[in-house]
Structure 1
Amino acid sequence: MNGPQTTPATPTTPTALTVAEAAARLDAFTVVDVRTPGEYASGRLPGAHNVPLDRLDEASAALMEAARRRPLLIVCASGARSARGCARLAELGVRAATLEGGTGAWAAAGHALERQAGARTPWPMDRQVRLAAGSLVVAGFAAGLAWPPAHWLSGMVGAGLVFSGATNTCGMAALLARLPHNRPGRDAVPFEETLTHLTT
């Protein structure tokens, strides 16, 4: 049978960890950061591997292999993307836990974040989405004062946000992740090398 095989359920592996729980036994986990490479470079949990959310399927075999050795802890900025990542991995047969509150909660609790020297610091993706969506709504409203059909832009953005909330997906985030400031820097570890690290 092709594809990842289901990992046997283990009652000792929770589906979510608080910052305190994660900090107490971080070395027991393989930490996977599902943020964009730009966000990851700006500060991540010690030892975290970067597998962006939109590449989880591609990395599923490596993550399955890593999960056989140690449980996976999935991390993002706030916990929203990591929860989606855990759900997707579960569909692929890979067990993982999410870090509640993400790197934001980790740093707020006084724990250190690793950073690449000289790395730029892009805004967290949820903040980028709010700025982009809000800007489009304001632009549609303002343009609609001169040309009423432009109000449809605001309506479409609003509908997109409703769909995003209902489905727990975000197409705008997927588009923003492709912008240069969210892409890997020149010193970033290549994705293929990350997969190799996960399996060794």
Structure 2
Amino acid sequence: MTAAGNPPNPAAVDTATLRRLLDAGNPPRLIDVRTPGEFDAAHIPGSRNVPLDLLRAHGDVLRAHLDERAVLVCHSGRRAGQAGRVLADAGLPGLRVLAGGISAWQDAGAPLATGKPRWALERQVRLVAGSIVLGSVLTSARLPRAKWVAAGIGAGLTYAALSNTCAMGMLLSRLPYNRGPRTDLTTVLDALATGGR
């Protein structure tokens, strides 16, 4: 625990190191915490999808199916860091996070299993937030109070950066587009136990 009582940030592992670990005789388990839709679009072969919202709700149960050698993966590393802190709170410290996430993995030319293309959740947040700000600023030329909508989005983004959470991202992750195949606790536990999705 840190001085503030929060679990420390998980250690980062870079793409080259992770590739070496995966090629070794006893590779770590890869846990992808993105939405099922993002996971279906592209993921590291052999990784298991445990969406962050499910992990937050059932970290204590999932902890029993993971060990400290696991590497957490998301789009950029931010959500994986949050997942690491959730699991540390549940009694599993020492997990690692893929630095730069699936983006860094893809940029390095590392192998990916791909499916139906979808936008990453972070990109969707930028589109929605930017569209609302642009629309409210343009509307404020006619209705001056519309500028406060832009201010509200700016305040939300500032809070998201300071708290390392994103309410808009959590809302967008619940859209059918991002849900992908049904992923519930039973499905995830079965996949972790049997080596499936």
Tell me the TM-score normalized by structure 1: 0.83
Structure 1: segments with no counterpart, 5+ residues? 1-13
Instruction: Map 1:70-149 to 2 at 5 A.
Output: 71-95=69-93, 96-115=95-114, 119-149=115-145
**Match for residue 17 of structure 1 among 13, 17, 34:** 13
1:197 counterpart = 2:191: yes
Distance 1:49 1:16 in 2: 19
| Letter paired with 1:112 | P
Q: CA deviation at 1:108?
A: 1.2
Q: CA deviation at 1:189?
A: 6.3
| Letter paired with 1:93 | G
Kindly indicate whether the alpha-carbon contact (under 8 Å) linking 1:60 and 1:89 is maintained by their aligned counterparts in 2: yes
1:60 counterpart = 2:59: yes
What is the aligned partner in structure 1 of residue 3 from structure 2? none
What is the aligned partner in structure 2 of residue 152 from structure 1? 148
Distance 1:94 1:163 in 2: 28
Kindly indicate whether the alpha-carbon contact (under 8 Å) linking 2:36 and 2:183 is maintained by their aligned counterparts in 1: no
**CA RMSD in angstroms, aligned pairs only:** 1.8
Secondary structure at the counterpart of residue 111 of structure 1: coil
Q: Which runs of 4+ in 1 moved over 6 A?
A: none
Distance 1:151 1:130 in 2: 18
Secondary structure at the counterpart of residue 66 of structure 2: helix
Distance 2:106 2:85 in 1: 25
Tell me the TM-score normalized by structure 2: 0.85
